[in-house]
A = this chain, B = another copy of it.
Amino acid sequence: MTHDRAPTLDDVARAAGVHKATASRALNPATRDQVRAETARRITVAARRLGYVPNTIARGLRTSRTAAVGVLIPDLTNPLFPPIVRGIQDRLEQNGYTALLVNTDGDEARERAEFAALRSRRVEGFIVATARRRHPLLTEAVREQISFVTVNRSVELPGVPAVVGDDADGVTQAVAHLRSLGHTRIAHLAGPQDLSTGAVRLRAFQHAAPSSPVVECAAYTEAAGRTAAGHLFEHFADTTAIVAGNDLIALGALAVICARGRSCPRDVSVVGYNDMPFADRFRPPLTTVHVPHHEMGAQGAQLLLERLRDPGSPARTVLLPARLTVRGSTAPVR
């Protein structure tokens, strides 16, 4: 892997037995599909063997393609996001693209600054997991014809591709499961209503269990779940089952049930949402609605890549199936 001089594109072309122009096309993600797959593979192998380092930056200037995509997430340490990001990375990498990942911590000013910083790095488009239903920054992005897609949540704007879970169906399954166990006093600890997931899940709950108690959580966090569950039991002490807005809210509810000297699932059943990693190892193992997060990320990357290739293509919304996963936190009503 050491050389007297850095290997050039000529060296790669010679080693692969192709024309220099062909080698150049094969080594550029934007033009790779103009070369036969077998030939492209031979050129890539030769380039790797020689330790050839194309200057992607210079290429970026010449073709205005950086093969980089900005990814906005709330917080990588929220267990929901690593599988989504991994799905995005895997699909982008297959296409020679890379992700520039930023955390916004739900802070609008920070999101705006990060978005501008990513644009200054000339990303070709964005994958946005921080969408709020009304989102001034995304409204401006649509106006400026910046390519982006949303994942997990959607924004209330026409023409924006999105990959989301089938939240309405997931909540409907959760309520049906609790009813089948004999529960009639079912409550919802709803997610924030400025997010599409919070709004869709609440609407589905109200449809499946009309006139049932609902407490809105300030955030999708364990702490917010604890606060909301406290309010719930103050006013509806006879609640026997809870549909939580997500798994972290469910964890907050479990803590409150325990603190009140009651037990899950003996006294109160709890259903989470997302099936976050290790939900099966919690005490009790959490009944929850599984969402295919890796697939969600991969599909989001796919939609964006299609958008970049053909900016005029119609905006699709991909709805991924939700699947209730029954574990130890739900039981027949006493």
Once A79-B277, A86-B76, A89-B101 are accepted as A-B contacts, the answer to whether A2 and B140 lie under 8 Å apart by CB is yes
- In the bound complex, residues from chain B placing their C-beta under 8 Å from that of A324 are none
Q: Is residue A180 contacting chain B, with contact meaning CB distance below 8 A? A: no
Known: A76-B85, A283-B285. A61 touches B53 (CB 8 A): no
Bound-state CA distance A120–B277 (Å) is: 34
A319 at the interface (CB under 8 A from B): no
Query: Copy number of this protein in the oligomer?
Result: 2
Q: A122 within 8 Å of B by Cβ?
A: yes
Structural contact, A101 and B103, CB atoms closer than 8 A: no
In the complex, the answer to whether B61 meets A120 with C-beta atoms within 8 Å is no
Q: Give chain B residues whose Cβ lies under 8 Å from the Cβ of A82.
A: 76-77, 79, 81-82
Residue of B nearest to A286 (CB): B281
Of chain B, the residue at the smallest CB distance from A328 is B283
Q: Are A143 and B98 in contact (CB under 8 A)?
A: no
When distances are taken between beta carbons in the complex, the residues of chain B under 8 Å from A278 are: 79, 278, 282
Contact of A122 among B55, B77, B81, B251 (CB under 8 A): B55
Complex contacts, A51 vs chain B, CB 8 Å = 116
Binary per-residue interface labels of chain A (32-68) against chain B in the complex, 1 for a CB within 8 Å, 0 otherwise: 0000000000000000100101111110110000101
Pick the residue among B1, B122, B140, B284 that contacts A56 (CB under 8 A): B122
Closest B residue to A144 using CB positions: B2
Q: Which residues of B contact A277 (CB under 8 A)?
A: 77, 79
The answer to whether B76 and A116 touch across the interface, beta carbons within 8 angstroms, is no
CA A85 – CA B89 in complex, angstroms?
15
Q: B60, B99, B140: which contacts A1 (Cβ < 8 A)?
A: B140
**Residues of chain B within 8 A of A66, CB atoms compared:** 57
> How does the 8 Å CB contact mask read for A181-206 relative to B, with 1 for contact and 0 for none?
00000000000000000000000000
Distance of A118 Cα from B89 Cα, bound (Å)? 14
Among A48, A77, A143, residue most surrounded by chain B Cβ atoms (within 10 Å): A77
Identify 19 new A-B residue pairs, CB closer than 8 A, beyond the known A76-B86, A77-B277: A2-B144, A51-B116, A54-B120, A55-B122, A57-B121, A58-B61, A61-B61, A68-B121, A76-B82, A76-B85, A77-B86, A77-B294, A89-B101, A89-B103, A99-B101, A281-B281, A282-B283, A283-B283, A283-B284
